[in-house]
Amino acid sequence: MRKALVTCDDEPTPVGLVAAVRSAADVKKQAALTEAYAVLEWVAARQLPEDRAAEEWSDDHFDEMSKDRFGSQALHLAGPGAPVVEEDEAYEIAAALGLSRQSGSRYVGDLIELRYRLPRIWSRVTALDLPLWKARKIAAATCTLPEAGAAYVDHQLAWTAARTTLAQIDRTVDEAMVRFAPDQPPENPTDHRDVILDLDQAKHGLVSIGALLDLDDALDLEDALRAGAAALKEAGCDDPLGVRRAKALGDLARGQGALDLQTDSKSRRPLVVTVVNGQATCEAFVRPGMPVTVTLDQIRDWCSTATRVTVREVLDLNTDDATDSYAPTEKLAAQVRRLHPTCVFPHCQRTSERSDLDHVVPYADGGPTSTANLAPLCRTHHRMKTHARWRYRRRPDGVFVWTGPMGQVFEVDDRPEPPDG
């Protein structure tokens, strides 16, 4: 017989515990909605007039244009007919939300799409009948539709979205595309094929890879990885299967096919290692501007696939190097990128390897080309600082203090954590 649960008077009952969880979930939903309302109030107050909203600019547009117009663009975050906002202000909203400019722009764009082009679905969100995350999935799919197409999706899904699958949402959007934008047929799923190497998040000398392949290509790759892993084992490699498969993929990238341990050295790539402070567990650059922490065993393993190894001058991160010229020396640039692994704009994760090195105090104003006065900024945030209304400075303690165009202040502290003890 199933026994009843007995609790002391001062202990919460299971029913009470579940009720507490449910209450916390309701608070979370309401908080998300309150945040969305605040963002939309900003959109309503700061949307651009029609003449500015008609502008179409991009980072690749380098024609002769005014400094102000080049600096901050009219940012179209939602579909046709929706409000358009100022780029540099949108990035300030993203920073205030604790998001990168990409994630923040997507979030704000989804809210604009819901509020102005999908009003029925938005009403289900405000009534807490539809989770915001699911409504955002719909908004992200409809932003390329004309206004009539978005209205069609809004009418079709408003009262069923909470129980509608994502596949059904896609089918409804595809139908709207055929009806209202026949010149823009539904996307072919194969168009999303890609291979992504997450070089920005390299940790301990390892990089994550994601891919979407044709089935035939995936099957051939699987056969090649199995053959390569088996060849490694036959050659005496004692690594686990997963490690051998990863090594086999690297061999494929070097054109070696299933492993040949005696490959002609001419087909091997050179390896440049810049050791930082000479520690036993090295912090090193194995590519220009890409700092990783690696073990000596990893370096020895990499050396087996390189035709030659070049060890550069040891970097001392505790010195303030400088040069009289505007452009930093190779060593100075490497030092700055090691000290600041990413763009120093609030919440930006673009690796410093792919960023410009900016003079915090402009060189034309007497700012030196030195460790203390250089910082990596990705191209967009460099543009925001140089040609738009974002400003920043570096405090004596090394913290970067940014001020947005609407006056909000953000601190970016990318200093390494102090050692324990």
Q: Looking at the structure, do residues 49 and 94 belong to the same domain, yes or no?
A: yes
Q: Are 48 and 56 in contact (CB under 8 A)?
A: no
Half-sphere exposure of 144 (CA within 13 A, CB side): 14
Is residue 308, in this structure, part of any structural domain at all?
Answer: no
Q: Looking at the structure, do residues 57 and 96 belong to the same domain, yes or no?
A: yes
Is residue 251, in this structure, part of any structural domain at all?
Answer: yes
State the CB neighbour count (10 A cutoff) for residue 126. 15
Is residue 93, in this structure, part of any structural domain at all?
Answer: yes
Is residue 358, in this structure, part of any structural domain at all?
Answer: yes
Please give the torsion angle defined by the CA atoms of residues 219, 224, 229 and 235, in that order, rounded to the nearest 10 degrees.
160
Residue ranges of the chain with pLDDT lower than 50? Answer: 1-7, 57-68, 190, 258-267, 280-281, 288-289, 421
Q: What is the pLDDT of residue 79?
A: 96
The DSSP code for 5 is: P
Q: Looking at the structure, do residues 207 and 330 belong to the same domain, yes or no?
A: no
Q: Looking at the structure, do residues 169 and 196 belong to the same domain, yes or no?
A: no
* 328 burial level (CB within 10 Å; 0-12, 13-18, 19+): buried
Q: What is the pLDDT of residue 288?
A: 46
Is residue 283, in this structure, part of any structural domain at all?
Answer: no
pTM listed for this prediction: 0.75
pLDDT single digits (tens) 145-194? 999 999 999 999 999 999 999 999 999 999 999 999 888 765 555 467 88
3-class secondary structure, 299: helix
3-class secondary structure, 212: strand
Q: What is the pLDDT of residue 353?
A: 86
Is residue 421, in this structure, part of any structural domain at all?
Answer: no
Q: What is the pLDDT of residue 274?
A: 63
The DSSP code for 398 is: S
Number of compact structural domains in the chain: 3
Is residue 288, in this structure, part of any structural domain at all?
Answer: no
Q: What is the pLDDT of residue 63?
A: 36
Contacting residues for 197 by C-beta, under 8 A, at least 6 apart: 207, 208, 209
> Nearest CA to 346 among 130, 10, 104, 65?
104
